[in-house]
Chains A and B, each alone.
Chain A
Amino acid sequence: MTSKYTITLFTGISIGVLALGAVSLLLFALNISPITVVQVMSAGSASNWMRISHVLSIWIPLLLCASGLLLTFRAGLWNIGVEGQVVMGAIFATATLRLLDGQAEPALVLAIAMAAGLLGGGLWGMLAGILRNQCGVHEIFGGLGLNFVAQGIILYLIFGSWKRAGMASMSGTELFGRDLWLSVPTGWRVPPISLTIAITAFILTALLLAITRFGLRLKAVGQNREAARLFGIRPDLVSLLGMMLGGGLAGLAGCLQVTGVYHRLIPSISSGYGYLGLLIVMLAGYRAVPVPFIALFFAALTAGSIQLPIVMQVDSSLSGVIQGAFVLSALLVHGLNQRKKQRDKQKNKQQGAGN
């Protein structure tokens, strides 16, 4: 299902040219200058350290979600429940902070909250895995259902049990005390600890996939469940573990959004970063190495597009259009490459027969 692509320099360039060309044509048709768009977006994402660190603050959840998705994709699973896993991680972390606030050292409380976030996302991933293994619900639909359930729970908490004193609103729960915020150096918009966690999580995931027995098992299950079973691997168990780990990383992203970015629980805590993670891993050809770079590019697009409505009255969803165009172009270019290879092979065969 998830065949790897080899991205050479040439295919990489053709994907970029195709995607950006298509979007430029669209902009020309709407009488918007693509050059101005590029200027506004690059200024919005890289003109000063403040903005670069804002890009990094988006990069963190993207990298974590994408790392988790690398695991599930390797096991041949479409973990579309990643959004709900982010939300549950955020909910578990918030619950921990509310419960332990003032009971222990803030650093300890934050550490427990991270473990709780990991657990929340992991449980939600496990649920999707169980639905798939035991109940025959394809992980796409189980995951989607769980996304809606998570959305229901977070709304219920924000408008019900955890509502702000006096009024409940879409702006979320009460802010946590400053001692429960992950510390941010002056002039930064991203806590260094979040960066460290995300990078570590990514490296560990990449190593897990590349050099451990478990990584090999995930791959075996993803490529051929039946053959894996014959080799003594338990496909259900391995894919369930993959879902739990992947969900855990997404949950960690949710926890970092609460403790490091919003300092409260808001209804849109996941900001669609889970779905964006899916696109990132697809564009990376389901391989680990390109993921951080693509995630950084996508984060820059998302951050840069915030300026578009302000400066040139263009809707910020343009960043999503560009991201989608890249993934679609990659699929197209890869398909064309494969077809050319097949044709060449056939030609060789025919020539061989002629001789």
Chain B
Amino acid sequence: MDVSIPVLAAGIAATSAPLIFAALGEALTEKGGVINLSLDGTILLSAMTGFAAASATGSVWPGFAAAAATGMAVALVLSVIGIWLGQSQVAVGFALTFLCRDLAYFLGTSYSRTPGPQQLAAPVPLLSKLPLVGPIFFNHSLIVYASFLLIPLLWYFMYHTRQGLILRSVGENPEGCWARGIRPRLTQTIYTLAGGALVGIGGAAFSLAIKPGWGRPQGCEGIGWIALALVIFGGWHPLRVALGAYIFGLLQISGILLQDIFPTLPSQIFQVAPFPLMIFTLVIIHFSRNRQDRWFSRLMALLSGSPPRALGRSHQQE
């Protein structure tokens, strides 16, 4: 396997693309104070509907649209029960995780291991010819370019627009917003749906571009949990969340490379290894937060943030 730096970096950019969509979608939702725990199921279900719609129409675009709609539909269920009826968002999210997963396998059987359309690499003219930068950034499928664009867009939206300010205020203090004439539940619903759509697109990015095809298992199982952990890892900040997604991509790629170096170890070990590594990164962040004296902890303080204050609590308006 060729392991030159540009190839490696391009590989990371591509593998991380679906995760970027899912994790940033969840960051958008959680910034408004709502936890959508159903990610693992939503990604799988939207990967399936995306692939099915693309197969039926012969084009990937209806696939992405169907996947976004699926993500929104799941988010709508969460919004109704978790925001408007005030039930535990964690409980609803859990139930949805398992329901969506089984629904995906149940509805997707007829598409299992069938050929379907997929998004191929579309090199950007001229730019892809640049040395180093060209192969890393400009020789991907369209969904990967979209993932690059999404990161600054979401950051700008959250921190430099009025709507973004409203979103963050609702996540911090819904009662205060209610008093100022903002409707917290409506705002939360809008961004839960928007976040769900992004998660859905992430699912389709798997089945239509990064791991094309549908089957059981599809290969994206478990990624939803990683996306949820990344939002915490990234301290609810889109740029840091994206950084986390790329680190996870690096872990996944190095798993494949290490497999070549240690052929005696079963390959399954390398497939599961990035998941615990990611989780235990959270432990390190926690421990370094309490120490103020070292450069390491300063670096970590830069990387971590605190959760929206009203996260997971549904606003009870009179």
Contact = CB atoms under 8 A, between A and B. Distances in A.
A327 B222 CA distance: 22
Interface in B270-286: 272-273, 275-276, 278-280, 282-283, 286
Given A141-B279, A148-B222, A332-B81, A320 B266 contact: no
B96 interface: yes
A156 interface: yes
Contacts of A331: 81, 85, 87-88, 91-92, 95
Contact of A78 (B90, B105, B268): B90
B114 interface: no
30 contacts: A1-B90, A2-B91, A3-B88, A78-B90, A137-B283, A140-B37, A140-B90, A142-B279, A145-B280, A148-B276, A152-B276, A156-B269, A159-B266, A168-B266, A279-B95, A279-B98, A315-B106, A317-B105, A320-B98, A320-B101, A323-B98, A323-B102, A324-B99, A324-B100, A324-B103, A328-B95, A335-B81, A335-B86, A335-B87, A338-B87
A335 B85 CA distance: 5
Nearest to A267: B268
A320 B81 CA distance: 20
Interface in A91-147: 131, 135-138, 140-142, 144-146
Interface string A1-43: 1110000000000000000000000000010000000000000
Nearest to B35: A140
A135 B279 contact: no
Interface in A33-66: none
A282 B276 contact: no
Interface residues of B, number: 46
Give the 5 A-B CB pairs with smallest separation, nearest first: A324-B99, A335-B85, A145-B279, A320-B102, A159-B266
Query: Main SS of chain B's interface residues?
Result: helix
A321 interface: yes
Contacts of B232: 138, 141
B69 interface: no
Contacts of B269: 152, 155-156
A271 interface: no
Interface string A142-172: 1011101101100110011000000010000
B279 to A, nearest CB: 3
Contacts of B229: 141, 144
A176 interface: no
Given A148-B272, A317-B105, A324 B280 contact: no
Given A141-B282, A156-B269, A325-B99, 14 more contacts: A78-B90, A145-B275, A145-B276, A151-B272, A152-B268, A152-B269, A155-B266, A156-B266, A160-B265, A315-B106, A321-B106, A323-B98, A332-B87, A335-B87
Nearest to A1: B88
Nearest to B283: A135
A288 B154 CA distance: 45
Contact of A332 (B85, B90, B105): B85
Contacts of A71: none
Nearest to B37: A140
A144 B225 contact: yes
A229 interface: no
A171 B83 CA distance: 45
A278 interface: yes
A2 B109 contact: no
B81 A155 contact: no
A339 interface: yes
B286 A135 contact: yes
B95 A327 contact: yes
B256 interface: no
B98 A275 contact: yes
